[in-house]
Amino acid sequence: MNIMSADLTPERLSNLRRLEAESIHIIREVAAEFSNPVMLYSIGKDSGVMLHLAMKAFYPSKPPFPLLHVDTTWKFRDMITFRDETAKQLGLELLVHTNQEGVEKGINPFDHGSSVHTHIMKTEALKQALDKYGFDAAFGGARRDEEKSRAKERVFSFRNASHGWDPKNQRPELWNLYNARVAKGESIRAFPLSNWTELDIWQYILTENIPMVPLYLAAKRPVVERDGMLIMVDDERMTLQPGEVVEEKMIRFRTLGCYPLTGAIESDATTLPDIVKEMLIARTSERQGRLIDKDESASMEKKKREGYF
């Protein structure tokens, strides 16, 4: 038996180390139990942490599954650049899927609103991609602290053959024993970050120095104020409404999605520690920046029943 220095064996694992170990356990379990898993990569901070954990889980091997990005064609340009660089740098297979029917019909957030756009370009597109490749498990970076219906969702969340979630008929989930059995066509959405909070995520990013899309950091960017939110003018497809003026402001984003649907906050936080500091005094939860959750307070549950992540 080797003699260990005392500081290598603290009496309890710290919160972050315990979360890290739990997530790695979940990721390995999915890889071992399913024949064709995929990792949904949304390019945001949670996806970034999840991917970082997957790299650790299988080191020195690569994660034995591809990444999948559902591209609505309305993501920030910086996100797409970051996505491609990340996959290249890590040497991982990246699948990108866009709902071509939606593109042909010209579905966009400006004319069709957030609800229709999200349903067709995200939910439907995701289902298309899962069916196309026949994935029997898909990792998502959702956390239980994000939203009330997520708080009750399992780590291994069962989806029927049409990708629907039935909140009243979830499999009991005990200890760290996950039931991975599915019939043909059915699948599991696996959520390795279930027990992380937003603060845990930022602390881990800071501790581990995980690369993030620059949009999380404050910079001068062109924005207009619309429906009480600051919307960044990311490309020429955004047309101004009467009275709207494009202004250069120091802004950053707390969550990233489709640029026309993602509100910025004014901020001077130009470094990761600045973000953590800002977050600690924040009095607004992160999803407020997303238009899609505002319609009704049970809207997330409704979307998830339909197959949304």
Partner 1 sequence: MGVLEDTLDGALASSEAVAAYVAAQEQKDQLRFLTCGSVDDGKSTLIGRLLYDTKLIFEDQLAALERDSKKHGTVGEDIDLALLVDGLEAEREQGITIDVAYRFFATDKRKFIVADTPGHEQYTRNMATGASTADLAVLLVDARHGLQVQTRRHAFIASLLGIRHVVLAVNKIDLVDYSEERFDEIRKDFETFASGFDFESLVAIPMSARFGDNVTAKGGNMDWFTGPTLLEHLETIEVGEHELEAPFRFPVQWVNRPNLDFRGYSGTIASGRVAVGDEIVVAGPAKTSRIKQIIAPSGEVEEARAGEAVTLTLQDEIDISRGDLLSAPSARPDVADQMAAHLIWMSEDALLPGRSYLLKIGAKTVNATVTEIKHNINVNTFEHVAGKTLDLNEIAFCNLSLSSDVAFDPYEANRTTGSFILIDRMTNQTVGAGMVWFALRRATNIHWQALDVDRKARADKMGQQPAVLWFTGLSGSGKSTIASLVEKRLHAEGRHTYTLDGDNVRHGLNRDLGFTDADRVENIRRVGEVAKLMADAGLITLVSFISPFRSERRMARDLMGEGEFIEVFVDTPIEECQKRDPKGLYAKAEAGEIKNFTGIDSPYEAPENPELRIHNVGRPPEEVADEIVAYLRARGFLSVLGMDGDGI
Residues 78-107 binding partner 1 (CB under 8 A) are none
When binding is defined by CB under 8 A, the residue of 7, 8, 35, 111 that contacts partner 1 is 8
Sign for the CA dihedral angle at 73, 79, 80, 86 comes to negative
CA atoms within 13 A on the CB side of 54: 31
Question: For residues 110 and 108, what is the distance between their CA atoms, to the nearest angstrom?
Answer: 6
When binding is defined by CB under 8 A, the residue of 24, 95, 103, 210 that contacts partner 1 is 24
Scan residues 41-70 and list those touching partner 1 (CB under 8 A).
53, 56-62
Question: For residues 245 and 108, what is the distance between their CA atoms, to the nearest angstrom?
Answer: 22
Q: Which is nearer to partner 1, 76 or 158 (CB)?
A: 158
When binding is defined by CB under 8 A, the residue of 197, 214, 217, 306 that contacts partner 1 is 197
Least separation in angstroms between CB 13 and partner 1: 5
Region near partner 1 per CB under 8 A, out of 93-101, 144-152, 210-218, 242-250:
144-152
**Which three-class secondary structure state does DSSP give residue 42?**
coil
Asked if 161 interacts with partner 1 (CB under 8 A), we say no
Binding mask 251-280 toward partner 1 (x if CB under 8 A, else -) reads --------------------x-xx-xx--x
**CA dist 151 → 105, 145, 146, 262 (Å):** 36, 6, 8, 23
Asked if 162 interacts with partner 1 (CB under 8 A), we say no
Asked if 19 interacts with partner 1 (CB under 8 A), we say yes
Sign for the CA dihedral angle at 185, 153, 276, 18 comes to negative
- Which of these, 307, 18, 39, 298, lies nearest to 151 by C-alpha position? 298
The distance of Cα 56 from the centroid of its chain, to the nearest Å, equals 19
Least separation in angstroms between CB 213 and partner 1: 20
Asked if 285 interacts with partner 1 (CB under 8 A), we say yes
When binding is defined by CB under 8 A, the residue of 81, 176, 211, 237 that contacts partner 1 is 176
